[in-house]
Each structure stands twice: as structure tokens, then as C-alpha cells.
Amino acid sequence: MVLLVFVYNLPQLFPVTQPLLGVPFIAGLVSMTVTEAAYMAEIHRGGLLSVAKGQSEAGHALSFSFIGIQRLIVIPQAFRISLPTLINEYITIIKLSSILSVVSLPELLLTGQRLYAQNFLVMETLLAVAVYYVMVVTVFTWLFRALENRLDIQRKRPQTLSEAECQALRQRPAGAERREQHPGRQRRAAGARSAGHSQILGAA
């Protein structure tokens, strides 16, 4: 319905949009964007509301700014929560692209219709179109599933030290790590000591 409004009704109400919306690709892109933007916004809204309020309060307790809380705490968790629903919506968009054939946009279904109008092999051509749709949806499903698994923190293993590394840390002297972390401070202290010795010798 939105597609038909953008293609047929809107150019009549606003003739200035005729050169732009007269192109099937642009008309289909604008109509699909307007239609799916509402669903996407609601999905992201649900993800943001699903993040516990205590997460923001913890960010305030750590003196994070509002932008820092949203960027580092809230939005990553909301994206992980809403990712399965986003994947379903993206797959739906791929399948809904067949609607664009009503405005003569040469997508997959319209191409199949033109083919079986020439070879009269209706069932065979539509079966091939269905196979292509299944292939495209399957590839995108695998990609989105890999992304979901990558962002799933429950699948990540905590990094631990090996037994040899733990033994080396136990045998290290207490002040060795501190001296390794501040080599510049050691050099400044050594320089100060040498300067002090020079002053003492000069006074003597």
C-alpha cells in the first residue's frame, strides 16, 4: 500500500516529486525504507528498554558521562538483546523485495515472470526463483548467526594464565613488577642520587 502511494498518489499531489519517484528503484527504496523504519525503531526501542536501569546507575557511579553510558554500557547490551529480532526483520525485508515487481522494478520475481512468459515453463521457472530466494536467505542467515555468536558473551571463554605463568608470578620478587612498570622513575631516582652525591662531594 505504501509502495502504491509513493508511486501513484504522491507524484499527483506533489508534481515536483515526479522526476524522483518516477524511477522504480528510488520509489521502491523510499517506500521500503519508510515502511521498515517504524519496525526497526520499535525493535531498537524494545532493546533499550530491556537493559536494566541498574546498568545506567552503575555508569553514573563510575562517573561516566551520559554519552559514555549509552555508548559503552547501554547500547552494546541493547544491540545484543535486539539482534535476533533484527535478523528476522532483515530476512523479512529480503523476502518482501518481491513486492517491488508491481512497480516494474526488475527484481528476482519479475525476472522470473518475464522468463516464463517467453518459455512457458511456469512451474519450472517459479521453482528456480524459489531456490534462489532460499539460497539468498540461507546465506544471510548464516552471516547473521555468525555475528550473533560472535557477540554472545556467554560463548566467550575467560582468558586464564597457564600453570607455568602462575608459577613464574609466584616466584617473582614483590617489587619486581613495580620496578618493571616504572623504568623512567628508576632512572630519575638514580639521577637524583648521583646529583646528591656530587653535591656532597663538592661541599666537602
CATH number, position 148: 1.10.3720.10
Q: Are 130 and 95 within 8 A, CB to CB?
A: no
At residue 159, the 3 state secondary structure works out as coil
Quick check: is 79 in a domain? yes
Has residue 177 got a pLDDT over 70? no
Alpha carbons 189 and 194: distance in angstroms, whole number:
9
- The Cα–Cα gap between 132 and 10 comes to 33
pTM, entire model = 0.65
Question: Per the domain annotation, does 69 fall within a domain?
Answer: yes
Let me know if residue 39 belongs to a domain.
yes
Lowest mean pLDDT among 82-91, 113-122, 149-158, 179-188: 179-188
- Cβ-based neighbour number of residue 142 at 10 Å: 10
d(CA 65, CA 130): 51
pLDDT exceeds cutoff 50 at 200:
no
Contact (Cβ atoms closer than 8 angstroms) between residue 18 and residue 26:
no
> Has residue 88 been placed in a domain?
yes
Q: 174 in the Ramachandran plot: left (φ > 0), alpha (ψ -120 to 50) or beta?
A: alpha
Count of structural domains, the chain: 1
Model confidence at 179: pLDDT above 60: no
Residue 140 lies in a domain: yes
Q: Which domain holds residue 103?
A: 1-154
Would residue 123 count as lying in a domain? yes
30-66 tens-digit pLDDT: 888 888 898 999 999 999 999 998 999 999 998 889 9
Note whether residue 178 is domain-resident: no
Q: Do 112 and 126 touch, CB atoms closer than 8 A?
A: yes
- What does the alpha-carbon distance between residue 198 and residue 94 come to, in Å, rounded to a whole number? 80
Q: 134 lies in a domain?
A: yes
Q: For the chain, give the mean pLDDT.
A: 79
Q: With cut-offs at 50, 70 and 90, classify the pLDDT of residue 203.
A: very low
